[in-house]
Amino acid sequence: MSLPVIDIAQMRVWERMTWESGKTEAEVIQRAGQAVGVRAQQLTEPGERVLILAGKGHNGDDARQAGRHLTGRDVKLMSVTDPQADLATLSSLLALRPALIIDGLFGIGLSRPLDDHWSRLIEQINQSKSPILAVDVPSGLNGDNGQVQGTAIQATVTLTLAAPKKGLLLPSAWPYVGRLEVVPDIGLVPCPHQGEVNWTMPDDFRDYPPRRPVASHKGSFGHLLIIAGSLGYHGASVLAARGALSARPGLVSLRPQPEAYLPVAAQLQSAMVAPWKDQLEPPESTSGFLIGPGLAAPGLPAKLKTSVRQLWKSSPLPVVVDASALDWLPSGNISTKAIRLITPHPGEAARMLKSTVAQVQSDRPAALRELSRRFGDCWVVLKGHQSVVGRATGDLFVNSSGNPYLAQGGSGDVLSGYLAGLLAQPPLQEDPVLTIRFGVWRHGAAADVLQAARANWILEHLVEALGRIKNTLAL
């Protein structure tokens, strides 16, 4: 299940409750160290060198314990207590070019600036360019506010323990955290905390989507109508349609602008393609809309924008809006309880809020809440690193999957198509936030699987991979 994002004080309370229950620190350290060792094993190949840097505290104990669970690796353990005296030894070990460094120098308790000797030691580690696995938090980073205490480890992966610490989700921390992963079970008592912001785990979707009845037919799973594609931007509509088809609604129809009809229709087989007409005439079987991908050509008809606004305000069906159509939405309340979803990236969110990207990124949960409030309490996927899902009130969910190689033109079109394809299915409309979270997670997980398998994947491969992801995937 999803995990609350907590602060350091809450983590200390959780630990204290665990010790009071009779569990020992040694038991927890053993479990944490095993998890770190397993992840380090996954990040290296047999025979490769792993350098473990262990400090005085419990993070150091976790790192030392990790070494006992590394098999078939050349493990070097260095206990670092005096950074000035230990610098020469560290230099000689780094000269061996380890395939992985495990950072266990400092833990979540660090709240003071590091002195010059520690700063030089950490800078030397960073300059080695070896991949780094940070235990719980990168050494030198404040786990509460995401600020660097003078200097900090620039981790490739941060394996945080029990639950995410709120400072690790702040943009100031991202260059140091790298990929954030969570080990939820290290032997502590059940988490006593709840939070407004939660971290999505793959197990959240273990039994989702529900199995389809044996006697189903295409009418059981909805008909998505996509309004997308214009001259020079037909590819976005094709990717959105393919993303939608990957979600497997019963039917998908696409209405590109007339100038884009031929190149769009030539690339799609399963979707029904017809050129946009002045008047929107959705098929009677329509159960959801996607509007926006590839509608960026100048001079689009005014009736198109008017139709979009009318659908947003009053359609009894789910409406997903992305890309250029986000700028056409009317603010204020809508006259229906039907599902509404927008999927802006930070630049689009800044335009919609009449703000700046920096302001959006400085407090992504607040930006998401304000977007939802302005546009009728709609659901929002604020895309980007650690995409956030939610609305004006209630829980927010930070996505745990995905990687920087999703930063390709068209990635968002695949996502919006996939989400709309899910939400057009009546059985998946009952719990829209779970469906949206599932779609966002699966989109990122597909990219993770692709990146592990090949270095040159493109978005057509992403569409194919969407159907091959297991919901129990350990990330």
What is the b/e burial string over 125-143, where b = at least 16 CB atoms within 10 angstroms of the residue's CB? bbebebebbbbbbbbbbbb
Q: For 83-101, how does the pLDDT look when each residue is reduced to its tens digit (9 = 90+)?
A: 999 999 999 999 999 999 9
What is the 3-class SS of 358-379, one letter each residue?
HHHHHCHHHHHHHHHHHCCCCE
Angle at 196 between CA 434 and CA 321, to 5 degrees: 45
Nearest to 401 by CA among 200, 160, 143, 214: 200
Nearest to 102 by CA among 165, 151, 32: 32
Number of Cβ within 10 Å of residue 316's Cβ equals 9
The model carries a pTM of 0.95
Amino acid at 111: S
> Given the structure tokens 């009418």, which residue do they identify?
219
Mean pLDDT of the chain: 96
Reported residue count of the chain is 475
User: Is the backbone of residue 127 left (phi > 0), alpha (psi -120 to 50) or beta?
Assistant: alpha
The topology under which CATH files domain 3-192 is Rossmann fold (3.40.50)
Contact between 439 and 424 under an 8 Å Cβ cutoff? The reply is no
Q: For 102-132, how does the pLDDT look when each residue is reduced to its tens digit (9 = 90+)?
A: 999 999 988 889 999 999 999 999 999 999 9
**The pairing of beta strand 197-199 with beta strand 3-4:** antiparallel
As a whole number of angstroms, the distance between CA 283 and CA 439 comes to 25
Contact between 443 and 414 under an 8 Å Cβ cutoff? The reply is yes
Residue intervals of the chain classified under CATH 3.40.1190.20 are 218-468
As a whole number of angstroms, the distance between CA 104 and CA 102 comes to 6
Helix (H) or strand (E) holding 267, with range, is helix 261-267
- pLDDT of 472: 52
Residue intervals of the chain classified under CATH 3.40.50.10260 are 3-192
Q: Give the residues of the chain that fall short of pLDDT 70.
A: 471-475
- Any bridge partners for residue 251, and if so which? 223
- pLDDT of 471: 62
Amino acid at 232: G
Contact between 398 and 165 under an 8 Å Cβ cutoff? The reply is no
DSSP annotation of 148: B
Please state which CATH class domain 218-468 belongs to.
alpha beta
- Any bridge partners for residue 382, and if so which? 388
